[in-house]
A and B are shown apart, each in its own frame.
Chain A
């Protein structure tokens, strides 16, 4: 309970910092709207029929809108932990927090929470703009399974993100894994186009990425209103990713903290 309260303190801190930049919210809102607008026109040019393999029976604009929304979660989960550690190291605030009795795990998680909250707002904004202005059909009756899929996706990506934070703490620079996973997810994960439409030697790599299953399940839930039983195979695979990636990230992070304390490099960058 006290950890939860401490996490909320980080949210309040980041909210206060965010609102101190007066036009920040407005600019981000415009950014989302323009992004949706751009992809709307791209989809008109692409004009792929909903029967295209991998499009899950929906039009291309709806397909890519969900892809973009989930890509934001991927970015937040993978970049936020390491990015926050690095920026707090560079501003000198990490040391000030580490001399308090609050655990470093809570500090890193707390520092990333605002990004997740902001991302969630962005995702809702994407879907809302899509629905209100571009008539994308969002099936709200499948909201609960969709939330479960998003939660599992965030946890799986967070495992990689925490691994990235471990790299930053120990090696003082961004890790190659995050770059590799982020690039591969955008390339073959089914964000902008179905991996089924790619050459097998390339598209085949998509099965090793959690985003492939997350996107497929999310599109089926929110765009087609699939039943929970139909989503279960993808949910199971996502759970497997969580079971492997999250403990791996936490183990690596603990190892990095201990090594950095031994080397005296915890707050160096």
Chain B
């Protein structure tokens, strides 16, 4: 049941959305232990979130966090066990076909096209499945191939495309019916760094800023999430660890910020309990160090001051983003995450 108010500014709303998979038992297991209860795996545990229309919202988490399950529930491929998910005010469990008209779903699975058809033929076929007329499908396909800068490749068989092209065609397919919401499931997973960067810029500038699409991005790449998402939710084993902007999420974390410093002319590294310095490489008078600095607001400034006062010249200073694993470790230590 939709809420009229939600449809205006809220693109996606979930309330205590839960998915529990019941593992199917083999005949051998059933024969061995006929009365044993089948194992249950919680993929999503009471996930509540709200995505505003026109924002890029991230789902960040390692494999098995529940990101894909969440996207597949929105796409109507999986039914939730409990709770509800609304897209544009429509409950996905009640009217999945209406929801599918307002969602474009992009998987990272490059097999999901007909390899012997051309890019154009593929788009026209899927356009018809989205309910477009033949003329509309042709026109939308042509226009999207232009947007994706694939016009010259449109009449090549899909199997001849590079991985980057396949991914761009997958995005084009998801846009055929011009949906307000686009779900991207690890879209840069199999791309090289240049193609991945190109794709990220394309999503931000052309799809989000120019076309105003609401983007739901599932990724396990923290840098990608930081670059693309205004807000995000960090998931682990179906549970929400944190929600907010990347700055909000990492700000309150315990631990230290990490930097890579290249300093020349330094007599001896300054010591202070608020930081630890580790020399990684020494090249004459130039030293490359890694620094772990307390997050107290002043420690980093004091470190730089101490380096300068020690007659050092700071050649470069770069912040090293924590890896996803480090963020998870900071948010919830292993023993806590392993649960009861």
Question: What residues of chain A have their CB less than 8 Å away from a CB belonging to chain B?
Answer: 2, 5-6, 9, 12-13, 16-17, 20-21, 91-93, 95-103, 107, 258, 261-264, 266-267
Is B101 at the interface (CB under 8 A from chain A)? yes
Contacts of A102 in B (CB 8 A): 129-131
Question: What residues of chain B have their CB less than 8 Å away from a CB belonging to chain A?
Answer: 19, 21-22, 24, 43, 69, 72, 75-79, 97-98, 100-101, 103, 105, 107, 109, 111-117, 121, 125-126, 128-131, 157, 173
Q: Which of A5, A9, A98, A261 contacts B125 (CB 8 A)?
A: A9
User: Closest approach, in angstroms, between the C-beta of A109 and any C-beta of chain B?
Assistant: 13
The 9 sampled A-B contact pairs (Cβ below 8 Å) are A9-B129, A17-B114, A21-B116, A96-B113, A96-B173, A101-B98, A101-B131, A262-B78, A264-B77
In the bound complex, CA of A97 to CA of B101 (Å)? 13
In the bound complex, CA of A124 to CA of B137 (Å)? 35
Contact, CB under 8 Å: B112 / A92: yes
Contact, CB under 8 Å: A95 / B77: yes
Contact, CB under 8 Å: B117 / A97: no
Contact, CB under 8 Å: B121 / A100: no
In the bound complex, CA of A266 to CA of B78 (Å)? 8
In the bound complex, CA of A70 to CA of B69 (Å)? 45
Looking across the interface, which residue of chain A has its beta carbon closest to that of B110?
A: A92
User: Closest approach, in angstroms, between the C-beta of A150 and any C-beta of chain B?
Assistant: 29
User: Closest approach, in angstroms, between the C-beta of B284 and any C-beta of chain A?
Assistant: 55
Contact, CB under 8 Å: B128 / A101: no
Looking across the interface, which residue of chain A has its beta carbon closest to that of B109?
A: A92
Q: Which of A93, A101, A261 contacts B100 (CB 8 A)?
A: A101
Contacts of A96 in B (CB 8 A): 107, 112-113, 126, 173
Knowing A92-B111, A263-B24, A264-B19, say if A98 contacts B117 (CB, 8 Å).
Answer: no
> Besides the contacts A9-B125, A92-B109, A96-B126, what 15 more A-B pairs have beta carbons closer than 8 Å?
A5-B128, A9-B128, A16-B116, A17-B117, A91-B114, A91-B115, A92-B111, A96-B112, A99-B76, A101-B97, A102-B131, A103-B97, A258-B79, A261-B76, A264-B21
- Counting from the closest, the 6 A-B pairs by CB-CB distance are A92-B111, A100-B129, A92-B112, A96-B112, A20-B116, A9-B128
Knowing A9-B125, A261-B78, say if A20 contacts B21 (CB, 8 Å).
Answer: no
In the bound complex, CA of A97 to CA of B22 (Å)? 25
Knowing A6-B128, A6-B129, say if A93 contacts B77 (CB, 8 Å).
Answer: no
User: Closest approach, in angstroms, between the C-beta of A99 and any C-beta of chain B?
Assistant: 4
Knowing A16-B121, A261-B78, say if A97 contacts B109 (CB, 8 Å).
Answer: no
User: Closest approach, in angstroms, between the C-beta of B109 and any C-beta of chain A?
Assistant: 5
User: Closest approach, in angstroms, between the C-beta of B141 and any C-beta of chain A?
Assistant: 13
Contacts of A5 in B (CB 8 A): 128
User: Closest approach, in angstroms, between the C-beta of A166 and any C-beta of chain B?
Assistant: 16
In the bound complex, CA of A232 to CA of B329 (Å)? 76
Looking across the interface, which residue of chain B has its beta carbon closest to that of A17?
A: B116
In the bound complex, CA of A220 to CA of B17 (Å)? 61
Looking across the interface, which residue of chain A has its beta carbon closest to that of B105?
A: A99
Looking across the interface, which residue of chain B has its beta carbon closest to that of A90?
A: B111
User: Closest approach, in angstroms, between the C-beta of B233 and any C-beta of chain A?
Assistant: 20
Knowing A17-B114, A95-B112, A99-B105, say if A267 contacts B126 (CB, 8 Å).
Answer: no
In the bound complex, CA of A261 to CA of B109 (Å)? 19
Looking across the interface, which residue of chain A has its beta carbon closest to that of B176?
A: A100
In the bound complex, CA of A6 to CA of B103 (Å)? 20
In the bound complex, CA of A258 to CA of B111 (Å)? 25
In the bound complex, CA of A17 to CA of B114 (Å)? 8
User: Closest approach, in angstroms, between the C-beta of B104 and any C-beta of chain A?
Assistant: 8
Contacts of B75 in A (CB 8 A): 98-99
Contact, CB under 8 Å: A93 / B130: no
**Residue among B75, B103, B126 with the highest chain A CB neighbour number at 10 A:** B126
Contact, CB under 8 Å: B69 / A101: no
